[in-house]
Amino acid sequence: MGQGASACGGVKQADVKRFALVGLVAFAVLACAACGGGSKQAAGSRALPPSLVKQIQAAVRRPSPIGGASSVKTVEVYGPASHSALERASLGPTSETQHVAGAWYLIVLRGHFTPNLPLPPGAKASHPRIAMEVWSPKGTGPAFGFADRLPAAVARLGGHAVVDLS
């Protein structure tokens, strides 16, 4: 046999290696596509379904009472959990006792914010560093709040996902 030819009808070893390499690359591309390679989540964070990531990205980009949200590059997402559990963790005890069904998420934004809320005459606008929104993919009315530090109760909610907004 000639150099580089095999017993399989003259197929060269270089061709077999090239075929194996192409197969490996194709497998890697398909694997990335299947696991949501385009969903823009930070490496090492808890994974969310790509469709949920897109909904979160759209929700954060919408106009809201959170002034300055458009400059945020990533958000932390906690949940799913009950509406009341997320509201208690982020906003503290609330007077609202009604149960709101469904999967809810706490979206945490870090930056410098100016709440787009009415102020009493003579009051100065605050500039908190953290904005939090209790949000549902079903689009039912979110609750939001502001703080200078992430409440300890939020950290106790468990692992969070980091979603890239850029």
pLDDT tens-digit profile of 124-166? 888 899 999 999 998 766 788 889 999 999 988 988 999 999 8
Please tell me whether the overall predicted TM-score, pTM, comes out greater than 0.85 for this model. no
Q: What is the DSSP string of 56-108?
A: HHHHHHS--SEETGGG--EEEEEEEE-HHHHHHHHH-S-S------S-EEEEE
The beta-carbon contacts of 7-13 under 8 Å, at least 24 apart in sequence, are none
pLDDT tens digit sequence for 27-71: 333 333 333 444 455 555 688 999 999 999 998 888 777 777 778
